[in-house]
Amino acid sequence: AKDQGGGTFNIFSNGTDEYEKKQLMLENDLRNALETEQLIVHYQPVVDLSTGRLKSFEALVRWEHPELGLVPPGEFIPVAERSGLINDIGTRVLESSCRQVRRWHSANEQIGLAVNVSIRQFRNPHFPNLVKDVLEITQFPAHLLILEITESMMQDDSESVRIIEEIRTLGVKLAIDDFGTGYSSLSKLGFLPIDYLKIDRSFITEMLIHAPIQSIIQTIIDMGRNLDMELIAEGIEEEGQSLLLAECGCQFGQGYLFSKPLSAEEIEMTYSLSTLV
Ligand code: C2E
Ligand code: CA
Ligand code: CA
Ligand code: CA
């Protein structure tokens, strides 16, 4: 079936509903933003907690709105998902971030790239092929690409399993984002080939305040390690969190303690990653 994109949206059936009107305006603005290159990618470093070394960047989309300024993804991704625009946005983010980090490989060829994938992209039967095409076009090494999906996307229907397996066949890695918030059936973790678990920020925020949270984090880390997955903690803002996480066996982390998401130019200055080959 074709994407029921915003183009087929019936304005009149929704009449005067203010909310619907706003959504529709936002959707039109967003379609325009895509065409006029107002969507840009920021990059947040992921570091090795015990050495402090840079491991990878997570690509995070932003909307440079001509009047509103920088709009965070939380405000337009839901609209993009509802309208189907997320497919085009997602492809754009994947391609431009692969291209960008590929340039940085001339200074450091080990840098990984994590890209968020929405459920609508993931459910698209052509998704694995699309990823393959982007890897070819950008010459990005598959093993350095990590696709971040959420717990709710790993269902054990045959279609999801096929998509996950096709992605893995390309050599691309998979991460479960926001782990611990989705109440997924843990048994799935044992069957699906997942490389990384990203411990949700809510646990990290609470870990120094509520002692029981520490036990939960330790349990997630131990489980991940037993299943041969690597652990990434998100939302690290304090030195104490970083030290304790490293002690608990969590290898990687990201958060404001290390860096906020930065524009490509800012990343180049901070990490001396010249784009001149
Ligand atoms: P996420 O994938 O969980 O990304 C992490 C979010 O936490 C980012 O927010 C990041 O800026 C923020 N963050 C990182 N470190 C810290 C910290 O130490 N403290 C705090 N308070 N926040 C921190 P952002 O960039 O606003 O993105 C929000 C969400 O939007 C993302 O959550 C992701 O679900 C979605 N998103 C972003 N870019 C894309 C994209 O290209 N495609 C899709 N489908 N979703 C995206
Ligand atoms: Ca993410
Ligand atoms: Ca996350
Ligand atoms: Ca999140």
b/e 15-39 (16+ beta carbons within 10 angstroms → b): eeeeeeeebbebbebbbebbeeebb
CA–centroid distance, residue 177 to ligand 3 (Å): 5
CA–centroid distance, residue 174 to ligand 3 (Å): 13
CA–centroid distance, residue 133 to ligand 2 (Å): 22
Residue 248 to residue 244: CA distance in whole angstroms: 6
Candidates 49, 57, 77: which one to mutate for ligand 1, based on the most atoms within 8 Å of Cβ?
77
**Six-digit token pair at 158?**
């045959």
Ligand 1, atom 35, residue with closest C-alpha: 73
ipTM above threshold 0.90: yes
Ligand 1, atom 22, residue with closest C-alpha: 235
- Does 256 contact ligand 1 (Cβ within 6 A)? yes
- Does 116 contact ligand 1 (Cβ within 6 A)? yes
- Does 253 contact ligand 1 (Cβ within 6 A)? no
Span 231-275, pLDDT tens digits: 999 999 999 999 999 999 999 999 999 999 999 999 999 998 876
Sign of CA dihedral 175, 180, 181, 184: positive
Residue 61 to residue 72: CA distance in whole angstroms: 8
**Six-digit token pair at 130?**
């699309």
Q: What string of pLDDT tens digits covers the 277 residues of the chain? A: 344 444 444 545 555 688 888 888 889 999 999 988 999 999 999 999 999 999 999 999 999 998 889 999 999 999 999 999 999 999 999 999 999 999 999 999 999 999 999 999 999 999 999 999 999 999 999 999 999 998 888 777 788 889 999 999 999 999 999 998 876 667 777 778 899 999 999 999 999 999 999 999 999 999 999 999 999 999 999 999 999 999 999 999 999 999 999 999 999 999 988 765 4
**Six-digit token pair at 39?**
């969507």
CA–centroid distance, residue 13 to ligand 1 (Å): 34
